[in-house]
Amino acid sequence: MTNPLATFETSMGTFTAEIFLDVMPITAGNFLKLAREGFYDRLHFHRVIDNFMIQFGCPFSKDPNDRRCGTGDPPSGPIKDEFPPNAKITNGKYTLSMANTGRPNSGGSQFFINTVPNPFLDWFSPGESRHPVFGRVVGGTEVIDSIGRVSTDGDDRPRSPVQVFSITVSGAPR
């Protein structure tokens, strides 16, 4: 099976990610469903930490100044954790990884893109962080680098909002 591609049109440029539907069907399927429904359209990156990651997908981030940014779930609620032994994909640079609250089965619509290697976030590494990787940026990495360097306030929120206008999915069955 060929994995689908998701093209993100943002206020800072375009990037494309391969979505690992072949090995992460729950997590990748959830992302693809939300993207196809337009759930992510017009949301903002709500958390940017230089030399770490950029986070996206909170429904409250339609308004980048909403103090609830980073706390929202999709209408369908959280998904089941997915930790398949055949998909031990590390949180490497430019990978997409499921965000969660730290509690089991608390991932939903929010995810982050690693801007540096972060193997301590791997679900199969020692420690409490358990973030499964479900995709990787395959084009437009310079856009990810630029977003990762935006100026932020004390809460890691971009001072100048970075919006995703739309995500277009191609190359996969519905």
Would you give per-residue pLDDT tens digits along the chain (174 residues)? 589 999 999 999 999 999 999 999 999 999 999 999 999 999 999 999 999 999 999 999 999 999 999 999 998 999 999 999 988 999 999 999 999 998 999 999 999 999 999 999 999 999 888 999 999 999 999 999 999 999 999 999 999 999 999 999 998 666
The residues, any chain, with a CB within 8 Å of residue 63's CB and separated by 6 or more, are none
pTM for the full predicted model: 0.96
CA distance 82 to 165: 28
Domains of the chain, first to last: 5-170 (2.40.100.10)
